[in-house]
Structure formats: C-alpha cells, structure tokens
A and B are shown apart, each in its own frame.
Chain A
Amino acid sequence: MDCDAFRDEMMDLLYEEASPAVVRRLDEHQAACRACRDELSSFRRLRRDLASWRTPPDVGRAPRRLWSSRAYLAMAAALLLLVTGALAVRGSELRYEQGRFAFRLGRVLEPSAVSAALAAQEERHRREIDALRAAVAASSSEEATLRKVQRMIEESEARQATLVSAGLTRLEERTEARRQYDLAQVGAGLSYLDGKAGLQAARTTELMGHVLQASQKK
C-alpha cells in the first residue's frame, strides 16, 4: 500500500480537519499499516511537546496605536472646527438655496453701506484722476525747466573754470617771487664767502712778508 498517498490526509487527521470520509479511509489504512499508525501517534506526541513553547507575557501587549483611526478623526475634526471658526469670524457663510449650495467668503453689507462704499470709492477715483491730469499739464513746462537747469549748470562750470585759472596764475606768481628771493639769498651768501676768503688770503700774505723780513735780518 502506498503510504505517501495518505500523507496529506494524515495532516488533516492530525489537525482535526479531516472529513468523516477521510477519517474512515485513514482508519482502515492504519488498521493494516503499522508504520502509518506509529507515525501518527509520534506526531501527536510531538504536538504536545511543541505546545510547551509559549509567547512571553509582553508579546501582544497593546503598543502605541499610531494607526488609530480615532486619532485621525479627532485631528480632522479639530482642523474642521478651526477652519469653520476662522470663516465664521470673517463673516463667511454657507447657504443652500434652490437646490444648490452657495458659499460666500466675508460679511454681508447692508444696501446703504454698499452705496456709501461705492460713493467713497468713486470719490477716491475722481481724486486720483484729477491728480493724474494735473501731472500731465505740468509736464509741458518741464522742457523750460530742463533748459534753465542746463544753463545754470553751464554758468556754474564757467565760474569754476575762472576761479581755477585765477588760482593757477596767483600760484605761478608767488612761486616766481619765491624763486627770485631764494636766488638773491644764495648770491649774497656767495659774496660773503668770497669776501671772507680774500681777507684771509691778505692776512696770510702779510704774515708771510713778516716771516721773510725776519729771516733776511738774521
């Protein structure tokens, strides 16, 4: 008899998933097959040994639930409340009229307030237009102003050139006078030196004459 053919059914029987027909067929086989009988009983003892391995008490303890949908819902609700509150403060509203939703951002104004706001806006626009017109009219005199400014710049430049020229002339004159004075000083110094040298030579000559006379007398 082919025992391998009963292998799957033995697993069914071992884990109590075998149908009554399978149980009956396997019982018949085991009655005639000692090897299969022994194997099934050894597997049953093995299962008792395997049952000794149990998970530690901390396995399965509830961890932090990052996935908690309630947490997500709470956050979403808080966000919705925040947005709703902000819109309410701004005076926004959501309406359902004639089968359609209408959302308005901001407060509703009374008709009189709307008229006043429009009038103020129109007045502001009028002032701005007038200012623009005045600016356009003033732009025609700009050319004369430019010419005047140009002329003033040219006059200023001429004055500056005259002043610079006069300054240079005065500086040249003063430099020349100083040079003449210095030359005169140098000439006087040389003359003085010449005079002193001539006097010294005369004294030396006179002394030499006295020496010659004295030697001749001896």
Chain B
Amino acid sequence: MAPSDEELVEQFQNGDSSAFDVLVRRWERKIQGAIYRLVGPGEDVRDLSQETLLKAYRGLGTFKKEARFSSWLYQIALNVCRDRMRRGRGKSYVSFDELSETGETGSEPGPSALDLIEARDLSRQVAAAVSALPQEQREVVVLKEYQGLTFLEIAEALDVPLSTVKTRLYRGLGQLRQELVRQGIRGGAPVPAPTS
C-alpha cells in the first residue's frame, strides 16, 4: 500500500529525502495542469511548476501539517502564479491557436471529423470563458472542476472559509454559463423543466 502524503512528509522531515521524490511524482502533473489553466499555455507552465516544487522542497522541513499537503502545495502554486501575473510576465490568457494544435479533444475512439471540430471549438470557448473569469473565481473553478479538490482542501489552499469557496464557485459557474450561452453554446443554458 502506497504511503499517504502525510506519511511521506513525515519521512522527509525525519531525514528521508527520497520521500520528496515520491511526492513530486505524485503531484507534478496535477500542479502543471492547474498552472496551465491559471496562467495559460507556454513555457511559463514548466518554469512555474518547477518553482512551485522547489519552494515546496525548501519549506517541507518546516511544514506543520496543520493543513493537508495537497492544500499546502496548491497554495504555493497559486502564490507562484499570482506573483508571475503580478509581475506582468505572464498574463491570464489562453491561446486558441495553441489549443487547436494540441489534439486535446475527446479521446474516445472513432469520433467523426464533425465531432472533433465541434469538440475543439467547445474546448477553445471553454478555455476562453474560464480565463475571462475574475481571478478569485477562476482559482476556485480550476481547483474544483479540473483539479478535483474538495471544498475543504480549496478553503485551506486559499485560506478562506468554506462558504466563501462555494459562493465564488457558484458565481463563477453562473458567469461561465452566461458566457457560453452568449457564444451560442446552449448546453449550460437553463432549460425549463416540464411541468407535471
């Protein structure tokens, strides 16, 4: 049975440096995914991911385990992204051109050309809509919708109350729904339930 994050943290703090390698392998891809969705594509994603993991390595010795390791790690990643955006070196944007070349559409076997085109268009529009959200809402949407963190983990990572997380998410989803409807995507549009 694989050791938990907290067990690995304890091993690291007891002098077993290799425990950090396990944590990196476990979280590296997720952190990169979050950074990609927060700052957009580009070389910055890998740089910011490395910066996040380096800061985690330096701080793990004094990590007090008052929060989950995942929350702590995402908190570092969020701060790194905020710093980068504040310095103006990275903007919160998504390049549609890059998205169109990645072949990131649905992985189900045998989609038709029309399905691929539609999925690619939808992916671009969703990316643009998420990147257009205010930073606070975008962070919550990314952490919840794409990173799958629990509300409690997000509250720890952002250091805000649970209710604040849910309010930001509710508003963010509402704005996304509105934006996608404006772009002609009807999936999220409210559909009146049949009266019975």
Contacts and interface: CB of A to CB of B under 8 A. Distances in A.
Contacts of A50: 126, 130, 141, 145-146, 176
B192 A38 contact: yes
B32 A53 contact: no
Of the four ranges (under 10, 10 to 19, 20 to 34, 35 or more), the interface on chain B belongs to: 35 or more
Contacts of A180: none
A73 interface: yes
A53 B130 contact: yes
A46 B37 contact: no
A5 B170 CA distance: 13
Nearest to B165: A11
Interface residues of A, number: 40
B187 interface: yes
Contact of B151 (A17, A39, A46, A48): A17
Interface in B172-196: 173, 176-177, 180, 185, 187-193, 195
A49 B191 contact: no
Interface of A: 7-8, 10-12, 15, 17, 34, 37-39, 41-43, 45-50, 52-60, 62-70, 72-73
13 contacts: A7-B166, A47-B145, A52-B126, A53-B123, A54-B123, A56-B36, A56-B41, A56-B102, A57-B103, A59-B36, A63-B46, A67-B57, A69-B21
Interface of B: 17-18, 20-21, 24, 28-30, 32-33, 36-37, 41, 45-46, 49-50, 53-54, 57, 98-99, 102-106, 119, 122-123, 126-127, 130, 141, 144-146, 150-151, 162-163, 166-167, 169-170, 173, 176-177, 180, 185, 187-193, 195
